[in-house]
């Protein structure tokens, strides 16, 4: 007589409260995903700065609650829910979820989403979007393509099963976020600039390095350009100066002035870009831990600066140049400038992203450069009021 298979134990959802559960919340991805192809664990300390309310200025803008999922005493998942106090994301809901990570079990994922939905419904939500982890200006979207691509700093990784379960539980696509990869060759490094040497642009278009000794002024400039550039984007929430300064203060320990640039047209700053060194290269073998031996290793590797990959993570161009020939030229010359800078910083791979799927003005110049789609992350929508999904979600399908 065959035995009846044991039913899985019930899932317990625990609100994150206090230091111990917060630290556990930050560790969840590496506890669940270590060893899976394409996953590289972030440092626990870096995750603390991402999700600690006292360290990330984003949390001044929202009310939030994080949750852990437990089964038989083991942590099997996490999620965070948040609502903006005053800001209203462009054409998207201020009621959001993020940081969704779990084992391959629909019951666990359903329990986590139910907890986030319940909390958001109590705040007045009728429709929610996510994942935003914790914001559209940080890590956002759920990975649906490119699971084994090069793990990249500040880009979330999820196993293939996660999106399948989320969609089976009634979540619909709202938007896809596209990231491109470009492999730099010796030919790229040896090539002379073409666009930058064209007579009609040579005297007018200049790329200057970031002024690391005057970071305060650079932060003011980049905050202004970033918010002007992306104000019309779906889901956009203006980044505050405090948020940008927090990022800049962290990145200045990883990079030199050669990793960033400001583009000037006729003497006026009209765009900027920052390539973030791929910190995963320095931390992949540490299992997320800095102590007791990881810290000196990371410091030594950062000082050596021998990165082979990076991500154009921060970019902004004056909105007046969008969908114009001049704007397209600036994007193409920016890519040419990155090729030239690879002589100094010796990168083999650059990731451009992310870009909204319907942003043809950005996507076309990137594709003209020879870059290929590397990863796709998806933002989901769920209505809590029983109404049909929004026209935006339907069109995004």
Q: What is the pLDDT of residue 395?
A: 36
Q: What is the pLDDT of residue 389?
A: 65
Q: Are residues 39 and 107 in the same domain?
A: yes
pLDDT digits (tens), the chain, 397 positions = 455 555 678 999 999 999 999 999 999 999 999 999 999 999 999 999 999 999 999 999 999 999 999 999 999 999 999 999 999 999 999 999 999 999 999 999 999 999 999 999 999 999 999 999 999 999 999 999 999 999 999 999 999 999 999 999 999 999 999 999 999 888 888 888 888 888 888 889 999 988 888 888 999 999 999 999 999 999 999 999 999 999 888 888 888 788 889 999 999 999 999 999 999 999 988 999 988 888 888 888 888 878 899 999 889 999 999 888 888 888 888 888 888 888 888 889 999 989 999 999 889 989 988 999 999 999 999 999 877 665 445 434 3
SS (H, E, C) the chain: CCCCCCCCCCCEEEECCCHHHHHHHHHHHHHHHCCCCCCCCCCHHHHHHHHCCCCCHHHHCEEEEEEEEEECCEEEEEEEEEEECCCCCCCCCCEEEEEEEECCCHHHHHHHHHHHHHHHHHCCCCEEEECEECCCCCEECEEEECCCCCCCCCCCCCCHHHHHHHHHCCCEEEEEEEEEEEECCHHHHHCCCCHHHCHHHHCCEEEEECCHHHHHHHHHHHHHHHHHHHCCCCCCCCCCHHHHHHHHHHHCCCCCHHHEEEEEECCEEEEEEEEEECCHHHHHHHCCCCCCCHHHHHHHHHHHCCCCEEEEEEEEECHHHCCCHHHHHHHHHHHHHHHHHHHHHCCCEEEEEEEECCCHHHHHHHHHCCCEEEEEEEEEEEECCCCCCCHHHHHHC
Q: Domain tally for the chain?
A: 2
Q: Are residues 288 and 307 in the same domain?
A: yes
Q: Are residues 165 and 197 in the same domain?
A: no
The residue range of the domain holding 49 is 12-177+378-396
User: Any idea what the CATH number is for the domain that residue 274 is in?
Assistant: 3.40.630.30
For residue 3, is it within any domain?
no
**What is the pTM assigned to this prediction?**
0.93
Q: What is the pLDDT of residue 394?
A: 43
For residue 1, is it within any domain?
no
Q: Are residues 383 and 246 in the same domain?
A: no
For residue 46, is it within any domain?
yes
Q: Are residues 368 and 224 in the same domain?
A: yes
Q: Are residues 97 and 83 in the same domain?
A: yes
Q: Are residues 228 and 305 in the same domain?
A: yes
């Amino acid at each position: 007589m065959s035995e009846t298979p044991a039913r899985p134990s019930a899932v317990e959802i625990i609100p994150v409260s206090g230091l111990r559960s917060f630290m556990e919340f930050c560790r969840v991805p590496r506890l669940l995903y270590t060893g899976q192809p394409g996953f590289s664990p972030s440092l626990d300390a870096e995750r603390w700065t991402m999700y600690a309310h006292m360290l990330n200025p984003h949390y001044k803008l929202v009310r939030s609650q994080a949750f852990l999922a437990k089964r038989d005493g083991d942590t099997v998942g996490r999620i965070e829910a948040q609502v903006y106090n005053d800001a209203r994301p462009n054409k998207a809901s201020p009621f959001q979820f993020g940081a969704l990570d779990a084992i391959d079990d629909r019951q666990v994922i359903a329990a986590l989403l139910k907890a986030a939905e319940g909390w958001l419904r109590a705040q007045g939500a009728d429709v929610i979007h996510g994942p935003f982890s914790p914001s559209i200006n940080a890590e956002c979207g759920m990975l649906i393509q490119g699971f084994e691509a090069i793990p990249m700093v500040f880009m979330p990784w999820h196993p293939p099963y996660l999106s399948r379960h989320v969609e089976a539980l009634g979540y619909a696509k709202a938007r896809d976020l596209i990231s491109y990869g470009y492999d730099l060759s010796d030919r790229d490094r040896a090539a002379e600039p073409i666009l930058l040497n064209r007579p009609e642009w040579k005297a007018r278009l200049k790329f200057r390095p970031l002024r690391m000794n005057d970071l305060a002024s650079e932060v003011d400039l980049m905050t202004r350009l970033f918010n002007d550039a992306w104000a019309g984007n779906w889901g956009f929430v203006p980044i505050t100066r405090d948020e940008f300064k927090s990022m800049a203060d962290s990145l200045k320990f990883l990079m030199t002035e050669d990793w960033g640039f400001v583009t000037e047209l006729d003497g006026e700053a009209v765009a900027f870009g920052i390539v973030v060194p791929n910190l995963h290269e320095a931390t992949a073998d540490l299992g997320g831990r800095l102590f007791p031996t990881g810290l000196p290793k990371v410091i030594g590797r950062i000082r050596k600066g021998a990165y082979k990959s990076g991500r154009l993570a921060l970019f902004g161009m004056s909105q007046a140049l969008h969908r114009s020939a001049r704007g397209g030229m600036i994007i193409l010359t920016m890519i040419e400038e990155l090729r030239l800078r690879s002589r100094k910083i010796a990168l083999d791979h650059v990731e451009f992203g992310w870009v909204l799927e319907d942003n043809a003005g950005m996507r076309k110049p990137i594709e003209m450069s020879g870059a290929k789609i590397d990863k796709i992350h998806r933002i989901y929508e769920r209505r809590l009021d029983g109404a049909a999904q929004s026209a935006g979600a339907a069109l995004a399908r």
